[in-house]
Structures are given as C-alpha cells and as structure tokens.
Amino acid sequence: MSDYVPFAEPTLDEAEIDAVTRVLRSGWVSTGVEADSFEKEFANYVGTRHAVALNSCTAALHLALLALGIGPGDEVIVPTITFTATAAAVVHAGATPVLADVEPVHLTLDPEQVEKLIGKRTKAVVPVHFTGRMASPGPLRELCDQHGIALLEDAAHTLPASDGPYRAGQVGDVSAFSFFATKPITTAEGGMLCTDDSRIAEEARVWSLHGLSRGAVNRYRPGARAAYDVDRPGFKYNMSDVQAALGRVQLAKADRLHAARTTIAETYLRELDGLPNLRLPAPDTADNLSSWYLFPVQLRLENMQADRDAFRDELHELGVGTSVHFVPLHHFSWYAENVVRDGQRFPVADAAAGRLLSLPIFPAMDDGAVERVVTAVRKAHEGTRS
Ligand SMILES: Cc1ncc(COP(=O)(O)O)c(C=O)c1O
C-alpha cells in the first residue's frame, strides 16, 4: 500500500539528523546547552519571558499546577473534549478535575459552562486549544481575573495559533506545549512550560529534576562543585540535549510547517465543501488563525447508512488513515466513576462525540496525497448516503 496516506507523520530531514548526530558526538547527551538554547529560542517564539524544557506536555501541565500551588482540596476546570493527560495532570497534582462542556463551533471549553462551575475551591481553569484553534482566550482570561483564579493553557495542539490580540502560550499565567511525534513540531517526545512569571519557571525547573538545587551539567562541568541540596521529592521530567537539538531545528521551521498545514486545510475546506453529510471545521478568519494540528470533520450520521467507525473502515480500505479526537473524558470509565458529578450533563460534547473524525493533515503530504484524501472522502461519503 505505498499510496496509503497515513494519519500523521513527522517532517524530519537531514537537518534534524545532523543536529542529533552533532549532540551524540559531543560527549554530553543529557540536559545541557542544547536544552538551554531551545528554551531561549522557544520563549522568544511564543513571546514569554521563560520556557522550561521537559520530557512531555503532561509533565508541563503537572508542574504548572504544582508551581501554581494547586493541590489537595482544590478544583481545576477542564473541558471534557480533550486527551486524558489534561485532567490526569490535575489528579497527579492531588487536586480534583471538574469537567465542563464545550461550545458548539470549535468544541473548545465553553466560558458560560466554566462560569457555572466556578466555586470556592476552584483554583484554575485549563482551556485546551483543541485541534489548534484557541479556546475563547478573551472571555476565559477575563473570567479568571474576575475570580482571582489561574489560567493554564493546554497548548499541546498549537504552534502557532492566535485569536485577535491573543497568541497561544501568552494568555495563561502558564502554558504547556507538546512535542509528541505527531505534534506541530516534535522532539520525538517532549514538552515545554512557558510563563512570564520567574517564580513559576524556577519552581517548575526544580520540580523537574528531583528537587535538586543544581542540574547535572552544572555538577559535572570541569571544576564545578558536586554538592547540591534537595528541598523536595521532585520528578524526573527534564529534556535531554538530543531531544532539544531536534526541537531547535523543528522550531526554526515552525512557520513553514504551519503554512503547509494551513494550505492543506484550505484545500480540504474548498474541495470537501458542499458534501451534505460532512460538517467541516470553521475556517480561519483574518484575525483567528488555527495551527491546523488536526482537521476534524463531523459526520451527519442521521442521514447516513454507516456509523463513524464504518466510515473510518471505508476510508482505510480506500487508502486513507484517520483518527478520532477525542472521545469525551466523561465517556471513559474512570472519569464517569470518579469525576462526573451527580446529574451533570454534557450535551454539546455528546452530540459531537460519535461523529468526530480527524483526516490526515501533516506538512509532508504532497498534492497527490491531499488529492487522494479528497477523492477517498468523497467516495466514502457517496457510498454511505442513505
Ligand atoms: C490536548 C492534549 N493535552 C496534553 C497532551 C499530552 O501531551 P504529551 O504526550 O506531550 O504528554 C496531549 C497529547 O496528545 C493532548 O492532545
């Protein structure tokens, strides 16, 4: 199946291979000068004063919550349409996630629902820029300021994205990015915590490396003092220089990778327009730009002979890989049993849940691959119309 279009693939070439090889030959592969440079370059790109390189976005979310002082007895509001890591990080911090429904246009956290859920124990709100579209930054920032609670952006899907004056990563008191293999830029696995607050950055840095007062590179340097203090039982969340070298090359290409994703999204929006049983995502506007990490379509199942999984199988048979983002958290057993409140309902998320399907959208897709996806979707759509 050489013509098979996979759901996602990283865009890596000789520059990444050279950068990684250079670090492998350098004599230092753990956290060091590459991670330090990556942090500075990333902070500059996102527009925050600090960036802390970590081994995942999950780690960034966890440490952001700890640095904000959130723990047992506290509540944190998260959207039900997200990956489990968003809410699991709240549990890791010892706090209680509170699920909120999403708004119907972009399926991002609904500020009206958030307002209803804010109570005395609420300490933070975690909007997810689902698929790369910013989650109501203005209203959520205002709401958090009014109530004196923290805003933590789950920016796993964005690099870059903006909504009016807001840019992903700059709106929250702290934000968390992912460099997982399929993300807008990758370090194979990795994440970044961004903030303007020096105290949050410093706290996250100490938590990320066992609670040590001095990182390894500063202990092993010729002539450096080996002594360190441990002021807490920290975690092992630091990013290696091998990953950081990869990340630096990817970051330098971020705008080009974003432009390629945007072009594919525009092609899908144009070529798939008018298919009656397919609801396409909202397009960019002059001042609202998605990272186009994902291209989610919704199937109008009431008019179709197939369900979402049958439609996916059909696309697979036609040579196109797809995925589902996301099964709402309240549909999973652990969240249903431990997090959903009595009588709580999520009508918007429930209406979208069985219909969502993500099409391939990654920068390495050439015109032929995009065309094959368009043709396959049209054909599957035709075959499943009732
Ligand atoms: C919305 C969201 N948040 C957090 C994460 C976790 O990212 P990571 O795999 O880097 O920990 C993901 C991963 O896919 C995600 O989609």
User: In the chain, how many domains are there?
Assistant: 2
Task: Select from 288, 289, 283 the least CA-distant residue to 258.
Answer: 289
* Residue 135 confidence (pLDDT): 98
For residues 352 and 240, membership in a common domain is answered with no
Q: Are 61 and 214 in contact (CB under 8 A)?
A: no
Residue 11 has which token pair? 């865009």
Q: What's the pLDDT score for residue 215?
A: 67
User: What angle, rounded to 10 degrees, do the helices at 57-67 and 198-208 form?
Assistant: 120
In a domain, 2, yes or no: no
Q: How far apart are alpha carbons 277 and 298 in whole angstroms? A: 8
CB 194 within 8 A of CB 38: no
- For residue 170, what pLDDT is reported? 97
Please identify, by atom number, the ligand 1 atom nearest to the C-alpha of residue 325.
Answer: 16
Write the DSSP symbol of residue 295. E
Q: Cβ neighbours of residue 137 under 8 Å, at least 6 residues apart? A: 127, 163, 164, 166, 171
171 & 308 share domain: no
Of 205, 229, 253, at which residue does a domain stop?
253
| CATH number assigned to the domain comprising residue 61 | 3.40.640.10
Residues 235 and 261 in one domain: no
Is 330 a member of any domain? yes
**Domain shared by 243 and 271, yes or no:** no
21, 110: one domain: yes
Give the mutation target among 62, 99, 178 for probing the ligand 1 site: most ligand atoms within 8 A of CB: 178
Task: Identify whether residues 83 and 98 lie together within a single domain.
Answer: yes
Domain co-membership, 162 together with 194: yes
Please tell me the predicted confidence (pLDDT) of residue 1.
Answer: 47
Tens digits of pLDDT across the chain (386 residues): 479 999 999 999 999 999 999 999 999 999 999 999 999 999 999 999 999 999 999 999 999 999 999 999 999 999 999 999 999 999 999 999 999 999 999 999 999 999 999 999 999 999 999 999 999 999 999 999 999 999 999 999 999 999 999 999 999 999 999 999 999 999 999 999 999 999 999 999 999 999 998 766 676 777 777 788 898 999 999 999 999 999 999 999 999 999 999 999 999 999 999 999 999 999 999 999 999 999 999 999 888 888 999 999 999 999 999 999 999 999 999 999 999 999 999 999 999 999 999 999 999 999 999 999 999 999 999 988 76
User: Is 187 inside a domain boundary?
Assistant: yes
CA 374–ligand 1 middle distance (angstroms): 28
The pLDDT of residue 255 is: 98
The closest alpha carbon to 297, from 266, 263, 269, belongs to 269
| Residue span of the structural domain in which 142 resides | 14-253
How far apart are alpha carbons 53 and 59 in whole angstroms? 10
Same domain for 310 and 188? no
Per the CB < 8 A criterion, the answer to whether 360 and 7 are in contact is yes
Structural domain contains residue 3: no
**Could you tell me the distance, in angstroms and rounded to a whole number, from the CA of residue 82 to the centre of ligand 1?**
9
Domain boundary among 219, 253, 287: 253
The DSSP bridge partners found for residue 54 are 191, 238
pLDDT for position 6: 97
* Catalytic residue ranges: 183
pLDDT at 217 (0 to 100): 67
Q: Which atom of ligand 1 is nearest to the CA of 183?
A: 14
Q: Does residue 21 sit in helix, strand or coil?
A: helix
Residue 221 lies inside a defined structural domain of this protein: yes
What's the pLDDT at 183? Answer: 97
Give SS3 for 147. helix
Report the residue among 7, 83, 154 best suited for mutation to probe ligand 1: largest number of ligand atoms under 8 A from its CB: 83
Give the domain CATH number at 272: 3.90.1150.10
Determine the distance separating the centroid of ligand 1 and the alpha carbon of 294, expressed in angstroms: 13
The verdict on 189 and 279 lying in the same domain is no
Mark whether 196 and 173 lie in a shared domain. Answer: yes
Does residue 64 line the site of ligand 1, with CB under 6 A?
no
Length of the chain: 386
Among the candidates 233, 253, 273, a domain finishes at 253
Residues 151 and 292 in one domain: no
